[in-house]
Each structure stands twice: as structure tokens, then as C-alpha cells.
Structure 1
Amino acid sequence: MSRDAEWDETVQTLLVGAHRSGVDAAELLDRCAALGLAAHGAPLPPVAEGGFLEQAPEATEALVPPAARDVLAQITASDDQVLLTEWCGMARGVGLVAHHRELPVLLDLGTSHTGLRQAVTAVLGTRGRWLASVRTRWNWAVAAVEAVDLDNAMDLPGPARQAALRRARTLDPDGTREFLAAQYDRQPRAVDRQAVVNALEAGLSHDDEALLERALDDLAIGVHDEALRLLRALPDSLLARRAADRLHRGLWLTAEGFDVRSDELWTVVEPDPEEARDLLRDGSESGVTGRIRGASAAVPPGYWTRRLGSDDVDAARELERSPWAAALLRGVAQRLNLAVDARPWAVAATRSLTGMEQLEMLATLPTDLAARTVVEVSRQWNYDLLDHACSQLPAPWSAEATAALLGRYADMRDPRWRAGRPPAVLLTRGDAEVLGANWHVITERWPTHTSELDVLRLRMQLRDAFAPHRKDRP
């Protein structure tokens, strides 16, 4: 009998009990002690296959200064992910990489917090990427991009499949489009057809319109809605022309703004099949309000400036007067990237909504535009609404937005539960240089010392640590 088999038999006997098994208790315990030590005591380490690691490549990148390393040590000790992202952004902005002694800590943080990976990858440098390649759990940071085999891409798990298809689109848009068109016809499962359509988002162009129009006839809601979302991103598509025709027929300009024509398509509650094909099927574009929003979301803001013969400011003001302002402007907000001047549209859309709808609207805007919109529309807001909106703005804010929002907070009355305490989101996400220059204003307006003030001090140290390198940059 082998040692392992004898050990297993002894354990079974021990579980049953010496009396029931008909063995001597002392003898059974002696066997447990001897066999347990033989089976598990001080095993020799396994022999590793392969040779030694290759020598690390010579790193030529400039390293962050000692002051920045000290700040990084404080940041990692406090586990502040927002501040770590800011540290990585400042290092990248001046062309520096992390010191090799901090690389394992940064790689571990990126492994446990996937949201940090993009920021961490930017400061790893040659040495960091080499280090990531020697440990499996750090492989996400390896810069090498594997070749895409399209024949096997559809068999990969969901995230890996999407990454492979999008990477192929970036490298060969036309060839990948032909592959995706063929795959769309072959895939019986809706989730696979939706993945095919979603891959077109990488390098989306008017050449993809034919395949997307085919996908609009798909019976699966997810496939149809994904195709519609991408078609709405094309400024001069067939979808945009159909939507422009419906807006022209369904709305007319009155003394109160754009209103529904009494004898046209939007006087009927249910859409005809052709219009329904151009609307989301997830339930968000049902009823007359939803149908108007869907049509507005399919045309670029330039449609309204051309129709009114005005600029973006006047056109946004005209839509804001409409009885259907919320529907029209929420649709326009989805196409702000196509506007000549997006700010008046964003401000008008936000003003036409209330409460949580305003916050949901702001969450869809680009960072800088969202900050400028909050500054513009927050004059009549209360503290809680302003604080909630600011918490959705990614850090760090621009200097202009920080100065304006500092003024907004300072002019407001603090809620009783936070009287005398500075707004946390302002100190942790605002521009450190602006906040540092207004330190006396902040401490006089909010005299209660809080941990956020310590974070601001740390952010000012971070700014000072990289200041000499910012001056050297062209």
C-alpha cells in the first residue's frame, strides 16, 4: 500500500473512531502523527521548469523626482484612487515614468482595481512592462498586442471577442467589415449578432451604413437598438434624412415654439412600421414624446440651425420655448459631438429637465462640456443638487470650472449636517492650482478642519513636485 493510500485509510479510520473501527486508540494516533508528517511535513519545493528570467531591458525614460515619489507613497497609503489617477496623469503629462521600486505596488493596484489600469499603464515605462510580463496576474499591462485571428475571434468569450473584433477593425476596417457582414448572416444567436454590430463602432464610417440598415430589420431588440445607436452617430445617413423628413412634417413653428401639426404623423399615438423601425425598442421611445425624442436624436444639431436660419445659441433658445422642449433637447443632447457650438445646446437641454433627469443628462456629456454646463445652470440649484452633479464630473476639473464652482459653493448656505465643512468633491476634484491660490478663501468660508483639507494639501504637494518639469515642457 502506498503512503498516500495508507494516509487516506488512517484518516477514514480516525473519522469513524477507534472504538467503532476496532483499533487501539494510541496506535491510531501514532499512525496519524507518522503518516501526517510523511505526507505533508516539510515537502521539497517543486522543480521549476525553464531557465532564469531574462535580464530587464535598459530603461531610457526619465523617472519621476523624489518629491513625486514621496507623494505617491502617501497616496498609496491612503488608497485614494482619484488622487492616484491624478498622479499618473501629471507624470504622463510631463513625460516621466514611475521609479522601478514603485512598479510592483502600481501593478498590484491596477490588478485589483481595473479602473486604474489605463492610468497606471501610462507610467510603467519599459521596465514596468517587462516586469508585468514575468507574472501572470500582471499581464494586463503588457504592451504587446497579439495578432488577431478573425476565424477564431467569434469563439472567444464575450469581452475577449469584442476586443479582438475592435482591434481588427482598427487595423483593417474594410476587410473586417466584410468578415462581420458574413458573420452577421451566419450567427443564429442574437447575442452574437449584437457583438458583430457593436464591433462596427471602432472606426465607424458611412461604409458601414448598409450593414447597419440590415440590422434594423433584426427581430432581436438588442441587435436592432445597437444598430440604431450607431446609425444615429452618422451625421448624413439615410436614418438622419428620414428623421429630418418626419420632423419637418410633424412639427411647425408657432408663437410658443415648435409644436405638433394637428394633421400629421404625431397626432396618432402609435407609429407606423417604418417609423417604429427607426425607434428604440427598449421602451424609452414610446408615445408621442418618445417618438419626437427619437427623431430629434437621429439628426445633427445643424438640422435646427439650417431650418431656423440661425446659429446654435438662437436655435437652442427656440427649441427651449417649445411645449416639446424636453423631448427635442434630450434628443439633441445625444448628438452634441456634431454641433458647431455644443454649450448652448447642453445648457438648454439641462434647463428643460428637473431633478434626477438633469443629473442623468449631465452624465452623458463630455467632461469639459458637462463642467461648463453645471457652472451655467447651477445658479438656482440647492446645495444637494449641485454636490450630486459635481460628483459626476471626472477629476481634475479645469481651472475655469473650479473657480466658478468654488464661487457657487461659497455663495450657498451649507446644509446643517455639513455646516462649516468644505465640499469634499470640490477639494478632491477641483484644479489644485486654483484651490491653492484660494486657500485663505476656503479656510475662512469653511473653518472646520476635515480630511478633505489634508487631501488638498497633498494635491498641492503633487502640483509642486511636478512644477519644475512642467516649466521645462514646450
Structure 2
Amino acid sequence: MSTPVPWEELVSTALVGTDRRPLPGPAGRAAGSADPAAELLEQAAVRTVRARAGRLPRRGEPLEPAPAEERPLVPRAAADRLARILAGEQGRLLPEWLAAAAGRGHRVPSRLLPELLDHAARDRSIRPFLGVLAGRRGRWLAALNPAWGFLEQEATGAPRVPAAGPEGEVWELGTAGDRRAHLAALRSADPAAARELLAATWEQETPDDRAAFLEVLADGLSGGDEPFLEAALDDRRREVRHQAADLLTRLPDSRLARRMAERAERCFTVTRRRIEVTPPDECDAVMERDGIRARPPHGTGDRGWWLQQLVARTPLEVWPRLLGRPPAELVGARLGDWTREVTAGWVRAAVLQRDPVWARELFARDPLADLLAVLPRDEREAVAAAFVRGGGPAGRRSRGLDGQLIMVLGGAQGPWGPDLTRAVLGKILELAGSQPWNLGELVRLAGERADPALHGLAERLSLEPPIQEVAALLRFRDDMLKELS
């Protein structure tokens, strides 16, 4: 019986290619191999079978039984629909089903747990829902399979344990997800107490947890958070430093904001009604500490990259005072060779600082989904509906369906109200005759984002197949949510 070829040798030969390296083992030394590549694959198959079948049996130990469940099962009809979704029927609705079920405090049937956990192993976005939906049986299963180990870090949605001291039991002993949820709940009720709780254990937290906890501080952000965030600019982890800088950027009176404003004054001057732009010559250690990354992306110049970030972290209220013009004029101003970089910086600043005035003016020049998301909900839908109908930004007329329209609608969070829904359905009808091959994504987006209670509106609008497809998807979602109720 020949000695099996080590797996590493097979992999190395496959990476280099059998035309450049002979087959390992006796087959490689033998002359006349008709197809070395096929022989290599055959050896790999044999090696795999041996690895799977050749393990010696081990002495088994009985497993501890799964603990009793505390949460109610989802209704049977809802569980049956989840099984259909997992099997491929309207698979894009899985996150919505999970979010709705988790929000109601349900758990899923045990028979669906393995498949659901396999989905979550590939898709991180649905993992937080499984902390609730998997129940105690799901955590018992996850402990038996390393691929499902992520579940141990998700919030269980367990009732809050009353704090026995400054930290409380959940903060001391809970999973990473439970601790985030605990901090978020405390932040909502008492922002200062949440910050003090985090500061007390900050040095003992892992880098990943520090970055995640800083995101929680975005809720209820105030000047009282500045000393803690300023200290976080010296953290060893880059993600922590940049998260802290992002939050300080939202505080126009912070020391970081003042440092950025001083840099802006050195880079921008107004002479004879012209705006002169002089980007930084270097990115020093102090600039890096304030969240400016020294190394630009591929294809971007150093100075333009530093300028763009400097503009993004400067308080937006600085620019009308410094340049003597309102936002409506500034977003259309010519800034020499640096117009693109400055405009990109203003876009990032409007998103970071959540400024609807600047977002409105910038969207009118360049409709971007991130800017649309900054606007108040009612205005967001009205602006999106106008854009879809073709009377959109800067008087532009719609020229059909393109990627920009899809991206803008992606920034309009659901559920869409009647006005935006009618606009999108009208666009689908308009394009059904001229671009029927190109409607798939728009139809799916309408069916997934519109308020599902509006399925009747779509059903009555037209018998055109794309409209009826939207109506069917809306009815599917409407039934889905009713089942979970």
C-alpha cells in the first residue's frame, strides 16, 4: 500500500500548475501520464476520502441535554413561511422576517436552526437577530459546531438584570451582544451614566468591543462626551481612533473641530471674490491623531486626499463664515484644481455631521444615496419621489433606468409611503414598454421597500406583469408580517 502524498504537496503543485511542477509521489516519477492535471485531482480526491474515513473512533461522552426554552415559538404559519424562504422562495426577505420575529421576542423551531445558523455563518448582517431567535437550543447547538460560534457573541435579548453595583451583572457577565444592548439601553436613559460605565472598564475591553461601544455613544452625543472621546484618539486600534474622531466631528465646539477649523483657514483664502485652495503639504502625527489617514487610496494624490479628509472633519458652520457665501453658492463654486476633493469632503461632512441643509444643497448637485439618508423622513421621500418622476436635482430629466436611480432609492429607507410608491410604480409602467429587460432590480426594490399594506394600490394600478409582480411581493410581505403578529 503506497504512502499517501501529503496534502500540502498536492496544494503546492495545484497552485504552480502541473505543466511547471511534476506530480508528487510515484505517479509523478512514472513516465507517460496522459493527463497530469486529472491525476492530481484524483490524488486529491483519494487523500480527502482517506482523511474523512480513516479517523480512529474515539470514546464518546454523552452530551448534556439542551436547556429548556423560555421564549414562545413563532406561530406555525410563520415557521412554515420561514422554511419556504430558507428554501429559496423570496430569499431576499429573510432579514425582514428575522427582524420582525426577533422584535416580537419569538424563537424559531429547532428543526430550522441548523440551516438558519449556516445562513448566518455566511451573512453577518442577520446574526444579531439569531441571538434572540435561536433560543437556548440554538446556543447549545452553537457550542457543538465551531462554525456557529459567532452566536455566543450576540445579544440574547434577555430581561435586564438590575444593577447590583456600578457595573451590573449584565455588564460584567453578559455576552458581547448583551453588553452592547445593556450599554445602549443605559445610554438612552442616562447618557452620562453610560459613558461613565464604559470609562470604568475601557482599558480591559478588547479592541473590537471598544470600537463597537463607541458606536453606541452616537446616541445622545453631547459636549460632556468630549474628554472621553479625545482620550480615545490615542487608542492603539485604528478603528477606535477613527470612530472617536467621527463622533468628535459631530461636536462643532470640540477641540478636534477647532483644530480642523484652524487647518481649513490655512488652506482656504478669498481674494477678489475668488476662493483659493492650497492643500496641506504633509500629514503630520497630529493630523493623523485627528483622524486623517496619511496613505491615500490607489490612484489618489496625497495632498488631495489629505484635503478631502480635512474638509470632511471641519464643522460645516465654518465655511459660510470663512468663505463668505451660503451653502447653496458654495456647493456650486469653482475651486480650481481641487473642486472634486473639496466637494467630496463636504459630502462626507454632511453625512458625518447629519446636516440636512448641506445635504439638501449637495443632493441637488449630485444625487447620492448617503445624502438622501440625512434628510428628515418626509422630505427624504418627497425628494426621492421627485427624482424618480424626473423633475429631480438641478432640473434634470429622467432618461430611463440607470444605476443612479437604483442607488438613490436604496437610500430611501422603507417602508415607503404612498407618494414614493406611486412614483416608483409609475416609473416601472413607463419603462415596461421600452426597457422591460432592465426592470428586475427596480421591481424587487419596490416590492421590498414599499409599505406592504399598499399591495392593493399596486394590484389596482395596472395589469402589466411587472406591476403585478410588485403587488404579489407586497402581499407576500403583508401576509408574512401578519403571521408573526
Q: State the TM-score, normalizing by the size of structure 2.
A: 0.59
Who is 1:241 aligned against? 258
Q: 1:377 to 1:269 in 2, by over 3 A?
A: farther
Who is 2:68 aligned against? 57
Q: Please identify the structure whose Cα radius of gyration is greater.
A: 1
Over the residues paired in the alignment, what is the CA RMSD in angstroms? 5.2
Match of 1:139 among 149, 154, 163: 149
Equivalent residues of 1:269, 1:288 under 8 A apart: yes
Distance 2:310 2:459 in 1: 51
- Deviation per residue, 1:4-52 (Å, 9 max, x gap): xxx779xxxxx99xxxxxxxxxxxxxxxxxxxxxxx9999964302x34
Q: 1:210 to 1:462 in 2, by over 3 A?
A: closer
Distance 1:78 1:414 in 2: 26
Residue type of the partner of 2:448?
R
Q: 1:177 to 1:335 in 2, by over 3 A?
A: farther
Who is 2:294 aligned against? 281
Who is 2:162 aligned against? none
Who is 2:117 aligned against? 107
Does residue 466 of structure 1 match 2:481?
yes
Match of 1:333 among 326, 347, 367: 347
1:92 to partner: Cα distance: 2.5
Equivalent residues of 1:347, 1:373 under 8 A apart: no
Q: Unaligned stretches of 5+ in structure 2?
A: 4-25, 28-51, 156-175, 184-193, 218-224
Residue type of the partner of 1:345?
W
Who is 1:27 aligned against? none
- Deviation per residue, 1:147-172 (Å, 9 max, x gap): xxxxxxxxxxxxxxxx89x98x9796
Q: Unaligned stretches of 5+ in structure 1?
A: 1-6, 10-14, 17-39, 146-162, 184-193
Distance 2:279 2:483 in 1: 66
Q: 1:63 to 1:288 in 2, by over 3 A?
A: same
Q: 1:459 to 1:238 in 2, by over 3 A?
A: same
Equivalent residues of 2:308, 2:342 under 8 A apart: yes
Who is 1:23 aligned against? none
Distance 2:60 2:418 in 1: 58
Who is 2:416 aligned against? 398
Instruction: For CA contacts below 8 A with separation 6 or more, give which structure has more relative contact order.
Output: 1
Q: 1:289 to 1:418 in 2, by over 3 A?
A: same
Residue type of the partner of 1:333?
V
Distance 1:273 1:101 in 2: 57
1:436 to partner: Cα distance: 0.6
Q: 1:399 to 1:130 in 2, by over 3 A?
A: farther
Match of 1:48 among 56, 60, 64: 60
Query: Is the partner of 1:95 in helix, strand or coil?
Result: coil
- Deviation per residue, 1:65-95 (Å, 9 max, x gap): 2322232222112165421111112222333
Who is 1:293 aligned against? 308
Who is 1:207 aligned against? 227
Distance 2:286 2:398 in 1: 38
Distance 1:419 1:388 in 2: 15
Q: 1:307 to 1:64 in 2, by over 3 A?
A: farther
Distance 1:199 1:233 in 2: 13
Query: Is the partner of 1:438 in helix, strand or coil?
Result: helix
Equivalent residues of 1:398, 1:430 under 8 A apart: yes
Query: Is the partner of 1:96 in helix, strand or coil?
Result: coil
Distance 1:272 1:132 in 2: 46
Query: Is the partner of 1:260 in helix, strand or coil?
Result: strand
Query: Is the partner of 2:459 in helix, strand or coil?
Result: helix
Distance 2:149 2:296 in 1: 41
Number of residue pairs the alignment of both structures matches:
381
1:109 to partner: Cα distance: 2.3
Equivalent residues of 1:68, 1:465 under 8 A apart: yes
Distance 1:111 1:435 in 2: 34
